[in-house]
């Protein structure tokens, strides 16, 4: 059975519907919201059903030479990321309905067409992200990643004010220039394969990995560095991260949740793929050091930036940069299981955190940390969830991220990289302390007197983040004993 | 030194890019960008004559129609709508910028010399030259770094993209057609999105100097 076309069918149909609604200038964002909610959950179930054979091992992966043009492939990591992205989209778009209902109270500008635009671009964004994971061709990979930038730029600009404009412009330009370097790198990979490794040249990642020792060394080195910088820009690699906190902070919460929970993985997945090629080269130690140290420096820098933050969502932006660094270290250790596990743990907790932050910003009426204080008294349910999500993101037990970060550190140590491990422990601890400190002030701290905060009507708003947190907890509890058993 | 026809056009594209960094009139910038892209299209067509593979002819047509004509006309329309025609101030004085661009051409020559010779020697002299490609990438980057308006940023990015395209043509005889078209589609949509954002910047800030967008910081 060919899974690729069914994977896209529901999001494509829904986005076509949204586009039709926009063209016809019809109202009906409410109905569309419900359809998207139901559709994306069916989409998730469909994805599980289609990709189950990859996980149970009955097929090692899908190659698609027979159907469309060649150049697409779904193997284990790709299947996992497709499921993760589908889960993130389903949960975010479910919560978005509640978020925007509250947002529309007293905001005339947020009319039906604005909401339809949101759904349209979220769906297109989802489609472009799924496209990233099925690519086995470097060229298609580049096209898909640039498409994710273009689609999400519209989401960053959603609020249509000056700050959103600034964030969207920086996002578009910095990421596009970064991606242009990745295009240069892609070209160099192609050229490197033409020196006898593959007659006529190849962009296929699996083919390049097979013939890696025969690739032209100068071009491969150039190719890897350019692609790494290019996709690294998109992943928030220090010092190319400057767009990331702005974009996360200015996008509406459900969009930031999708960007943080799913888009980050796309860029890292691209790096993961090219690293798999580089790892097959004779002199792979150079590439390994490059990735490991870039990752570590990113983690250290991000945790230092966490100390002085004034915006709640900027805080989580830097936390995402920190986690991107950790994921890079996992890639550098060439440990696919740790990379996948940490990506899943981080995405699930971060989505819950962004969705709850959106609710808190609505409640407090500001995204400045100085204005958000003492919310525990007025919204106890979501504050509790918020605290749990913040703890889960930092990688504290008993949540899943603790296990993956711990595995990462033991991985560093077992390869004899003590300096790396020490730096990472220090940075992770600093990040934990700062996030705990900021979260404590948000929850406790004297509430600003002038704002009469009405008591919370949590309603259904706690369901999606709550469910995600239960999943994060379950990941921690189930993977924990496995790891312990493995250690003994 | 013998210059083949396609190398001649490729170097011509670089020379027009250097001219482009010699003016702050945005419409002249656009015109020079269009000529530069047209020459890149001509290089592709010249390569078709040498290799006789019809896909290069189609590619040349698409490059000329979409990038040289379509994108330039779109950006010219954007400029007319927002009524901005000058790049107020640049970080580098214009004469120095032009000299730096010539220096870039030298650097590109040096870099291209250090690269291994192209894999397929039979046709490579007909496919432009790697140093023109690298020079365009460097000039485009410099243009983006030294100019201040949103439209100049877009033009600089497009020049970079032209450079990458020319480099690919020279060293690898182009990417597979599906990839080339996909890249072109992304660039087209990207320019559209950037154009729309430029409108909005003009509407909200009453200027398009993107260096003044710096409210967001830590």
3-state secondary structure of A311: strand
As for how many domains chain A has, the answer is 2
- 3-class SS shares of chain A: helix, strand, coil, % to 5: 75, 0, 20
Nearest to A172 by CA among B193, B165, B218: B193
The answer to whether residue A467 sits within a structural domain is yes
Interface test with B, best of A169, A215, A216, A242 (most B CBs within 10 A): A169
The answer to whether residue A204 sits within a structural domain is no
The answer to whether residue A19 sits within a structural domain is yes
Show me where the domains of chain B are located: 5-212
Instruction: Give the domain-ending residue among A119, A134, A149.
Output: A134
Average pLDDT over chain A reads: 87
Q: Where are the extended beta strands (E) located within chain B?
A: none
CA-to-CA distance for A115 and A478, rounded, in angstroms? 39
The answer to whether residue A267 sits within a structural domain is no
Contact B218 A314 (CB under 8 A): yes
Give just the sign of the alpha carbon dihedral A214, A215, A216, A222.
Answer: negative
CA-to-CA distance for A236 and A234, rounded, in angstroms? 6
CA angle at residue B20 from B14 to B26, to 5 degrees?
150
Closest Cβ–Cβ partner in B116, B168, B216 for A166: B216
Instruction: Give the domain-ending residue among A110, A134, A158.
Output: A134
Q: Are A82 and A134 in contact (CB under 8 A)?
A: yes
Question: A162 and chain B: CB distance < 8 Å anywhere?
Answer: yes
Tell me the C-alpha to C-alpha distance, in Å, between residue A412 and each of A335, A431, B65: 10, 19, 53
Q: What is the CA radius of gyration of chain B?
A: 17
Q: Are A235 and A328 in contact (CB under 8 A)?
A: yes
Which DSSP letter does residue A448 get?
A: P
- Give the pLDDT score at B164: 94
Closest Cβ–Cβ partner in B118, B157, B204 for A162: B204
User: Is the pLDDT reported for residue A409 higher than 70?
Assistant: yes
Residue A183 with chain B: CB contacts under 8 Å: 161, 164, 183
Instruction: Give the domain-ending residue among A134, A162, A185.
Output: A134
Nearest to A224 by CA among A289, A166, A168: A289
State the maximum Cα–Cα separation within chain A, in Å, rounded to a whole number.
Answer: 73
For residue A440, the enclosing domain spans 325-447+462-479
- Give the pLDDT score at A320: 94
Q: Are A351 and A472 in contact (CB under 8 A)?
A: no
Nearest to A217 by CA among A233, A231, A200, A197: A197
Among the ranges given (A4-13, A76-85, A453-462), the one the predictor scored with the smallest mean pLDDT: A453-462
The answer to whether residue A153 sits within a structural domain is no
CA-to-CA distance for A240 and A302, rounded, in angstroms? 12
Contact B201 A169 (CB under 8 A): yes
The answer to whether residue A141 sits within a structural domain is no
- Give the pLDDT score at A383: 87
User: Long-range CB contacts (< 8 A, 24+ apart) of A208-212?
Assistant: A208/A138, A208/A277, A209/A276, A209/A277, A209/A280, A210/A280, A212/A277, A212/A278, A212/A280, A212/A281
Q: Are A365 and A388 in contact (CB under 8 A)?
A: no
**pLDDT 10s digits, A174-190:** 999 999 999 999 999 99
Tell me the C-alpha to C-alpha distance, in Å, between residue A304 and each of A294, A309, A317, A405, B86: 15, 10, 13, 18, 41
3-state secondary structure of A383: helix
The answer to whether residue A230 sits within a structural domain is no
CB pairs under 8 A between A and B: 125
Per-residue pLDDT of chain B (218 residues; tens, 9 = 90+): 456 788 888 999 999 999 999 888 999 999 999 999 999 999 999 888 888 888 899 999 999 999 999 999 999 999 999 888 888 778 888 889 899 999 999 999 888 888 887 776 666 566 667 889 999 999 999 999 898 899 999 999 999 999 999 999 888 888 888 899 999 999 999 999 999 999 888 888 888 888 888 887 77
**pLDDT 10s digits, B134-187:** 999 999 999 998 988 999 999 999 999 999 999 998 888 888 888 999 999 999
The answer to whether residue A282 sits within a structural domain is no
């Amino acid at each position: 059975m060919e899974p690729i076309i069914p994977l896209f069918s529901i999001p494509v149909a829904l986005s076509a519907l949204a586009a039709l609604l926009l063209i016809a200038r019809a109202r009906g964002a409410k109905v569309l919201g419900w359809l998207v909610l139901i559709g994306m959950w069916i989409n998730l179930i469909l994805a599980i059903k289609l990709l189950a054979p990859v996980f149970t091992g009955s097929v090692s992966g899908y190659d698609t030479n027979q159907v469309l043009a060649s150049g697409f492939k779904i193997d284990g990591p790709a299947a996992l990321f497709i499921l993760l992205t589908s889960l993130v989209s389903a949960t975010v778009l479910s919560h978005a309905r509640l978020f925007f209902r509250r947002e529309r109270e007293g905001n005339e500008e947020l009319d039906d067409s604005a909401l339809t635009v949101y759904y349209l671009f979220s769906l297109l964004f989802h489609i472009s992200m799924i496209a990233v994971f099925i690519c086995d061709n470097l060229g298609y990979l580049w096209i898909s990643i640039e498409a994710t930038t273009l689609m999400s730029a519209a989401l960053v600009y959603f609020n249509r004010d000056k700050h959103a404009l600034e964030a969207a412009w920086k996002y578009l330009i910095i990421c596009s220039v970064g991606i242009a370097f990745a295009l240069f790198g892609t070209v160099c990979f192609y050229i490197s394969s033409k020196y006898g490794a593959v007659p006529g040249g190849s962009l296929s990642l699996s083919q390049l990995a097979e013939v890696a020792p025969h690739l032209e060394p100068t071009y491969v080195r150039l190719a890897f560095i350019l692609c790494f910088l290019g996709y690294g820009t998109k992943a928030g690699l220090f010092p190319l991260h400057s767009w990331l906190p702005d974009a996360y902070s200015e996008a509406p919460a459900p969009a930031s949740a999708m960007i943080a929970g799913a888009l980050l993985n796309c860029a890292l997945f691209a790096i993961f793929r090219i690293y798999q090629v580089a790892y097959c080269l004779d002199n792979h130690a150079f590439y390994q050091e490059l990735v490991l140290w870039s990752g570590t420096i990113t983690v250290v820098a991000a945790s230092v930036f966490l100390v002085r933050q004034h915006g709640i969502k900027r805080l989580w932006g830097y936390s995402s940069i920190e986690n991107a660094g950790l994921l890079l270290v996992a890639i550098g250790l060439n440990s696919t299981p740790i990379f996948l596990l940490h990506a899943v743990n981080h995405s699930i907790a971060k989505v819950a955190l962004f969705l709850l932050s959106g609710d808190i910003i609505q409640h407090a009426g500001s995204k400045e940390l100085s204005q958000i204080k003492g919310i525990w008294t007025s919204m106890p349910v979501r504050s509790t969830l918020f605290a749990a999500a913040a703890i889960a993101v930092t990688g504290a037990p008993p949540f899943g991220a603790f296990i993956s970060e711990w595995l990462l550190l033991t991985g560093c140590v077992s390869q004899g990289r003590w300096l790396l491990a020490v730096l990472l422990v220090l940075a992770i601890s600093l990040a934990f302390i700062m996030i705990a400190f900021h979260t404590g002030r948000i929850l406790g701290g004297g509430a600003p007197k002038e704002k009469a905060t009405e008591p919370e009507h949590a309603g259904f708003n706690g369901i999606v983040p709550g469910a995600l947190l239960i999943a994060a907890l379950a990941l921690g509890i189930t993977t924990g004993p496995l790891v312990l058993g493995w250690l003994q | 030194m013998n210059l083949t026809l396609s190398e001649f056009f490729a170097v011509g594209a670089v020379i027009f890019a250097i001219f482009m960094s010699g003016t702050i009139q945005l419409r002249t910038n656009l015109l020079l960008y269009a000529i530069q892209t047209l020459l890149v299209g001509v290089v592709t067509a010249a390569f078709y004559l040498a290799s006789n593979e019809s896909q290069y002819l189609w590619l040349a047509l698409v490059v000329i129609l979409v990038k040289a004509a379509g994108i330039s006309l779109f950006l010219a329309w954007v400029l007319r709508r927002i009524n901005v025609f000058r790049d107020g101030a640049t970080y580098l004085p214009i004469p120095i910028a032009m000299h730096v661009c010539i220096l870039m051409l030298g650097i590109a020559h040096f870099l291209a010399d250090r690269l291994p010779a192209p894999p397929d020697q039979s046709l490579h002299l007909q496919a432009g030259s790697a140093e023109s490609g690298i020079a365009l990438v460097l000039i485009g980057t410099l243009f983006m770094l030294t100019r201040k308006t949103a439209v100049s940023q877009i033009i600089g990015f497009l020049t970079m993209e032209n450079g990458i395209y020319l480099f690919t043509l020279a060293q690898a005889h182009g990417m597979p057609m599906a990839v080339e078209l996909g890249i072109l589609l992304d660039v087209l949509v990207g320019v559209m999105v950037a154009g729309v954002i430029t409108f909005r910047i003009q509407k909200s800030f009453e200027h398009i100097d993107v260096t003044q967008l710096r409210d967001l910081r830590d």
